[in-house]
Amino acid sequence: MIPVSRPRITNDDVEAVADILRQGFVSGDAPIVAEFERDFAKAVNRSHGIAVANGSVALDLALHALDLNEHDEVVIPSFTIASCLFAVLRTKARPVFADVDPSTWNLTVENLQNVVTPRTRALLAVHVYGLPIDMDPILRFCADRGITIIEDAAESHTVTYNGRVCGSFGLASTFSFYANKAITCGEGGMIVTDDDRFAARLRSLRNLSFLPAPGPRFVHEEIGWNFRLSALQAALGKSQLLRMNDVTAEKRRIGLAYHQFLSNNSSLAMQPASTAYSNNMYWVVGIVLPEECDARTVAAALRERGVDTRPFFYPLHQQPVLAKYSLDVQPSLPVSERLGRSGLYLPSFVGITDDEIAHCATSLLDVLAKI
């Protein structure tokens, strides 16, 4: 079976982790964690990096630190990972869902305009599958209305927008280092920001809200969490960061190879390889099937040919968990619903061979031809 994803772990990665084990300083307080934070923040042109246990809690902390209240609204694209929804639901604020563009699968300023109200306090700006949002119009729109932007760049490591790296927009940006990301710590995440006070608050929250030195130890003025990243994870992340640009370039090469096989098939939709403002990194290679195709049937047929797949995100505005909250009935968001119904992504891990790419692509075309 050709898997959808597989982490690339090198001998250098193994040695970096082994070195920390030999040192015996493996907790989240180890110097290697601060080194990883500094190196990663520098890579995305930010002043501060706050390493955390995973990308989901990075979103949780960033939104919690905004001190949202029950009258506030947070806009999130419906087509994204459920972590974004859960992070809003764990605050006092109300999630408001925006549809996405049918070509890029990303939020646009037009989508945003359709759902913003006087109560909109924040926006989760999520770059989907390695292709950035068109940020400039959204930055202007939010600045004019005092809307805080939290950028989710978990799927867009090293990708640039008009020459600026993803992770450098808004008050703060979040990253994931899950096993299928461009760089991985197995688990792990990072919040980056240029705001000194916001960074200090986040550092406190992720570490049980201890008071900063020279304050008394074990005295707490607010609830905090143990969301620290371990030294072992930081060592792996710091090692992987050294080749992050190479990984991004290889992911793009893989995506373009799939494009050569599939883009001429008019029944399939794919994200564009490039836009006027960015190149697609292809964190994953996604395809949208014809409406008449059942995505589960196609996935099963591909598995019989040794090709693993994953479905696209299920629309957030249709998540059953919303029934537990006193929220208004959500309107139809047709693009997000179509993507969630008919989208699959294909194997695109670093190390996949050209022959494996060809097998995956031709197997898909063969399955579609027989439906």
Please give the domain boundaries of the chain with CATH numbers for all domains: 11-241 (3.40.640.10), 244-369 (3.90.1150.10)
pLDDT at site 366: 95
pLDDT at site 221: 84
pLDDT at site 356: 98
pLDDT at site 116: 97
pLDDT at site 329: 66
pLDDT at site 337: 97
pTM above 0.75, yes or no: yes
Tokens of 169: 């927009």
Cβ–Cβ under 8 Å, residues 315 and 340: yes
Tell me how far CA of residue 202 lies from CA of 38, 221, 340, in angstroms: 15, 14, 33
The residue ranges of the chain whose pLDDT is under 70 are 329
